[in-house]
Amino acid sequence: MNDIHPLHLLREARAIYSQSDLADILGVDVRTIRRWEVRENEPPPYLSDAIRQRILPLISAQTNKDYPFTFIDLFAGIGGIRMGFEKFGGHCVFTSEWNTFSQKTYLANFPADETHMFAGDITQVDEADVPDHDVLLAGFPCQPFSIAGVSKKNALGRPHGFECTTQGTLFFDVARIIAKKKPKAFLLENVKNLVSHDKGNTFKIILQTLREELGYEVHYRVIDGQHFTPQHRERIIIVGFRDKNDFSWDKLKLPSNGPRLSSILHSQDGNEKVEEPYTVGDKGKINPKYTLTENLWAYLQAYKEKHSAAGNGFGFGLVTGDSVTRTLSARYYKDGSEILVSQGSRKRPRRLTPRECARLMGYPDSFKIPVSDTQAYKQFGNSVVVPVIAEVARIVTPYVINEVKIDKNQQSKVK
């Protein structure tokens, strides 16, 4: 997104706003706008960022009117949450992801354009510069929360509420954007242990912030990805609505018998398109590089035996086509120990390929993987299970779309 020249954004905005309007928005003289447009001089660097941050949301607001609803994608990773909401007509107007490798994968699959702002570090983005949106999506990282007594803060004349209790954490960035933009709904995703973190205090503050400080109706539920993919992966989903409604988790449709691992493994029989470097040859056989080396396989077996003798459950997870795997983690690139695919008693097991990891997380084969295996394993290990998000989006979006329609009707009456 940063490659789009600010003058291109100005030209886009001029189709909607006058030179005088843009001068007011940017805090410059009208003559300055005219000089930029005729290329008499260039906007200074500090104003280039202002043009991107202030003009782009205005363009987005005008060009996104035909979509059922809009959303922003915070701590976006590689776009798994986004995919779930796009399935039901949503249009992304803003993305934030700090990791450069994840940015590469995200932009390869969701190219930015002049109606979409892409930011790196959300902590450096002023909430006023985030485009208006109907739904806020965030797979925010969980960081320790420092709990301070409100009564003590009052006595000292210091601020309290979410600006105090969540300051310094990445959840604060979610909260400050919700406070400023007041989206119709939000969806937050995190690890299951968020509920028990710091003896439950972390989750208590999150709920207090969302409900009491920000005024949202909040619902949460832990959902296991194995309903949709052959992986045991429990994650907490927190949904909030600005206005009261009859939302219920009972509307979820979670298949009781999910798929098995064979459904995501490379066929290796020629019926699947070869995808190097993951599969090779006419039949699309698994690249030998994914088979564990003798030394690594010996080490993992010895490690498991050592801990088994001590009564611990540590060790590798050997799976077959009939299995449901353990949770894929971001450390999978190290040794693949949590999910090792059996290749028969006479062969050493192998890792999943990055494409199989993508399938395990519910990504379609059309999803591009432009990074190294190491980075791909990290990205999919940190991702959401896309069909889980899509199922939640299915029961969330009707309420959002209804609110959008009500807003449009009210606006048309005013006009």
Which span out of 13-22, 119-128, 227-236 was modeled with the highest average pLDDT? Answer: 227-236
Q: Is the pLDDT of residue 149 over 50?
A: no
pLDDT at 20: 79
8-55, pLDDT tens digit by residue? 666 666 655 677 777 777 778 888 877 877 777 777 665 556 665 666
Does residue 176 sit in the same domain as residue 251?
Answer: yes
Does residue 272 sit in the same domain as residue 364?
Answer: yes
pLDDT at 332: 94
CB-based contact 76:97 (threshold 8 Å) = yes
Is residue 252 one of the residues assigned to a domain? yes
Q: Is the pLDDT of residue 409 over 80?
A: no
CB-based contact 116:178 (threshold 8 Å) = no
Let me know if 92 is a catalytic residue. no
pLDDT at 77: 95
Q: Are strands 279-280 and 234-241 parallel, antiparallel or unpaired?
A: unpaired
Residue predicted with more confidence, 114 or 205: 205
Does residue 119 sit in the same domain as residue 230?
Answer: yes
The CATH number covering residue 31 comes to 1.10.260
52 Cβ contact partners less than 8 Å away, ≥ 6 residues apart: 1, 2, 4, 6, 9, 117
pLDDT at 16: 59
The CATH number covering residue 212 comes to 3.40.50.150
- Report the number of distinct structural domains present in the chain: 3
Does residue 101 sit in the same domain as residue 234?
Answer: yes
305-336, pLDDT tens digit by residue? 887 777 676 778 999 999 999 999 999 999 99
Q: Six-digit token pair at 224? A: 């296991």
Does residue 47 sit in the same domain as residue 111?
Answer: no
SS3 403: helix
Confidence of residue 358 (pLDDT cuts 50, 70, 90): very high
Is residue 326 one of the residues assigned to a domain? no
String of DSSP letters for 343-401: --TTS--BPPPHHHHHHHTT--TTS---S-HHHHHHHHHTS--HHHHHHHHHHHHHHHH
Is residue 6 one of the residues assigned to a domain? yes
Does residue 352 sit in the same domain as residue 375?
Answer: yes
Does residue 364 sit in the same domain as residue 390?
Answer: no
Is residue 325 one of the residues assigned to a domain? no
Does residue 183 sit in the same domain as residue 92?
Answer: yes
Does residue 203 sit in the same domain as residue 249?
Answer: yes
Does residue 230 sit in the same domain as residue 280?
Answer: no
Residue 218, exposed/middle/buried by CB under 10 A (0-12, 13-18, 19+)?
middle
List the beta bridge partners of residue 69. 90
Is residue 74 one of the residues assigned to a domain? yes
Is residue 78 one of the residues assigned to a domain? yes
Work out the average pLDDT over 88-93: 93
Q: Six-digit token pair at 197? A: 């973190």
Is residue 308 one of the residues assigned to a domain? yes
Tell me the C-alpha distance between 410 and 226, whole Å: 43
Average pLDDT, the chain: 85
Work out the average pLDDT over 355-359: 97
Does residue 347 sit in the same domain as residue 366?
Answer: yes
Work out the average pLDDT over 134-143: 85
Does residue 74 sit in the same domain as residue 59?
Answer: no
Q: Using the 8-state DSSP alphabet, how is residue 291 labeled?
A: B
Question: Domain range for residue 76?
Answer: 66-257+385-414
Final residue of a structural domain among 41, 63, 85: 63
Is residue 80 one of the residues assigned to a domain? yes
CB-based contact 260:230 (threshold 8 Å) = yes
362-389, pLDDT tens digit by residue? 999 999 999 999 999 999 999 999 999 9
pLDDT at 159: 46
